[in-house]
Chains A and B, each alone.
Chain A
Amino acid sequence: MATVQQQLADFPVAEAGGRAQTPFQRFRADFFASRLATVSLYVLVAIILIAVFAPVISPTDPYNLATVTVLDARLPPGVKGSDGITFWLGSDGAGRDLLSAIFYGLRISLGVGVISGLVAVCIGCVVGLTAAYFGGRTDSVIMRIVDIQLSFPAILVALVLLAILGKGVDKIIIALVVAQWAYYARTVRASALVERNKEYVEAAKCLALGHRRILFRHILPNCLPPLIVVATLQTAHAISLEATLSFLGVGLPITEPSLGLLIANGFEYMLSEKYWISFFPGVALLVAIVSINLVGDQLRDILNPRLQR
Chain B
Amino acid sequence: MSVFVIRRLLQSALVVLVMSLLVFVGVNVVGDPVEMLVNPEADQAEIARVVQSFGLDRPLYEQYGLFLLNAFKGNLGLSFVYGEPALKLIVQRIPATLELALAALLMAIMLGIPLGVFAGLRPDSKVSKTIMAGSILGFSLPTFWVGIMMIMVFAVMLGWLPSTGRGATVNVLGIDVSFLTWDGLAHLLMPALNLALFKISLVIRLSRAGTRETVLQDYIKFARAKGISNARVVLVHLLKNILIPVVTVIGLEFGGLIAFSVVTETVFAWPGMGKLIIDSIHSLDRPVVVAYLMIIVLVFVIINLVVDILYSILDPRVRLRDVKA
CA distance A260 to B144 in the complex (A): 9
A237-274 at interface with B (beta carbon < 8 Å) = 240, 243-244, 247-250, 260, 263, 266-267, 270-271, 273
A308 at the interface (CB under 8 A from B): no
- Nearest-CB residue, chain A, relative to B252: A151
B73 at the interface (CB under 8 A from A): no
B260 at the interface (CB under 8 A from A): yes
- Nearest-CB residue, chain B, relative to A289: B140
CA distance A158 to B15 in the complex (A): 17
CA distance A187 to B133 in the complex (A): 27
A152 at the interface (CB under 8 A from B): yes
With a cutoff of 8 Å between Cβ atoms, the chain A residues found around residue B31 in the complex are 164
- B136-A290 in contact (CB<8A): yes
Interface of B is mostly: helix
CA distance A290 to B118 in the complex (A): 25
A282-308 at interface with B (beta carbon < 8 Å) = 282, 285-286, 289-290, 293
- A244-B27 in contact (CB<8A): no
Give chain A nearest CB distance to B133 CB in angstroms.
Answer: 10
With a cutoff of 8 Å between Cβ atoms, the chain B residues found around residue A285 in the complex are 142, 145
- Nearest-CB residue, chain A, relative to B26: A164
A293 and B142 contact, Cβ closer than 8 Å, known pairs A155-B262, A267-B148, A275-B152: no
With a cutoff of 8 Å between Cβ atoms, the chain A residues found around residue B160 in the complex are none
A155 and B142 contact, Cβ closer than 8 Å, known pairs A248-B266, A248-B278, A271-B163: no
A293 and B263 contact, Cβ closer than 8 Å, known pairs A164-B26, A278-B148: no
A160 at the interface (CB under 8 A from B): yes
A31 at the interface (CB under 8 A from B): no
- Size band of the B side of the interface? 35 or more
CA distance A286 to B296 in the complex (A): 30
Q: Which of B157, B262, B267, B304 contacts A151 (CB 8 A)?
A: B304
CA distance A266 to B266 in the complex (A): 15
With a cutoff of 8 Å between Cβ atoms, the chain A residues found around residue B143 in the complex are 244
- B148-A270 in contact (CB<8A): yes
B96 at the interface (CB under 8 A from A): no
- Nearest-CB residue, chain A, relative to B14: A148
- Nearest-CB residue, chain B, relative to A275: B152
Interface centre among A163, A249, A286 (most CB of B within 10 A): A163
Give chain A nearest CB distance to B136 CB in angstroms.
Answer: 7
- B282-A249 in contact (CB<8A): yes
Chain A: how many interface residues by the 8 Å CB criterion? Answer: 37
With a cutoff of 8 Å between Cβ atoms, the chain B residues found around residue A22 in the complex are none
Per-residue CB contact flags for chain B residues 192-228 toward chain A (1 = under 8 Å, else 0) read: 0000000000000000000000000000000000000
A88 at the interface (CB under 8 A from B): no
Q: Which of A153, A236, A270 contacts B152 (CB 8 A)?
A: A270
With a cutoff of 8 Å between Cβ atoms, the chain A residues found around residue B292 in the complex are 163
A39 at the interface (CB under 8 A from B): no
Give chain B nearest CB distance to A282 CB in angstroms.
Answer: 4
- A153-B260 in contact (CB<8A): yes
With a cutoff of 8 Å between Cβ atoms, the chain A residues found around residue B1 in the complex are none
B156 at the interface (CB under 8 A from A): yes
CA distance A243 to B262 in the complex (A): 14
Interface centre among A159, A263, A282 (most CB of B within 10 A): A159
- B163-A290 in contact (CB<8A): no
Interface of A is mostly: helix
- A140-B142 in contact (CB<8A): no
A289 and B259 contact, Cβ closer than 8 Å, known pairs A163-B289, A248-B278: no
- Nearest-CB residue, chain B, relative to A151: B304
Give chain A nearest CB distance to B258 CB in angstroms.
Answer: 9
A124-165 at interface with B (beta carbon < 8 Å) = 140, 144, 148, 151-153, 155-156, 159-160, 163-165
CA distance A151 to B253 in the complex (A): 10
- A140-B255 in contact (CB<8A): no
- Nearest-CB residue, chain B, relative to A236: B140
CA distance A275 to B152 in the complex (A): 7
A140 and B325 contact, Cβ closer than 8 Å, known pairs A148-B15, A271-B163, A278-B148: yes
Per-residue CB contact flags for chain B residues 84-111 toward chain A (1 = under 8 Å, else 0) read: 0000000000000000000000000000
- B296-A156 in contact (CB<8A): yes
Q: Which of A155, A163, A249, A286 contacts B145 (CB 8 A)?
A: A286
Interface centre among B140, B157, B260, B282 (most CB of A within 10 A): B140
- A159-B136 in contact (CB<8A): no
Q: Which of B26, B266, B297 contacts A165 (CB 8 A)?
A: B26
- A156-B263 in contact (CB<8A): no
CA distance A278 to B259 in the complex (A): 24
Give chain A nearest CB distance to B229 CB in angstroms.
Answer: 37
A163 and B163 contact, Cβ closer than 8 Å, known pairs A155-B260, A250-B278: no
A263 and B145 contact, Cβ closer than 8 Å, known pairs A155-B262, A248-B263: yes
CA distance A148 to B18 in the complex (A): 12
Known: A165-B26, A244-B144, A279-B149. 11 other contacts (CB 8 A): A155-B259, A155-B262, A160-B296, A163-B277, A164-B23, A240-B142, A243-B145, A247-B144, A247-B263, A248-B266, A278-B148
Chain A contacts to B: CB under 8 angstroms = 140, 144, 148, 151-153, 155-156, 159-160, 163-165, 236, 240, 243-244, 247-250, 260, 263, 266-267, 270-271, 273, 275, 278-279, 282, 285-286, 289-290, 293
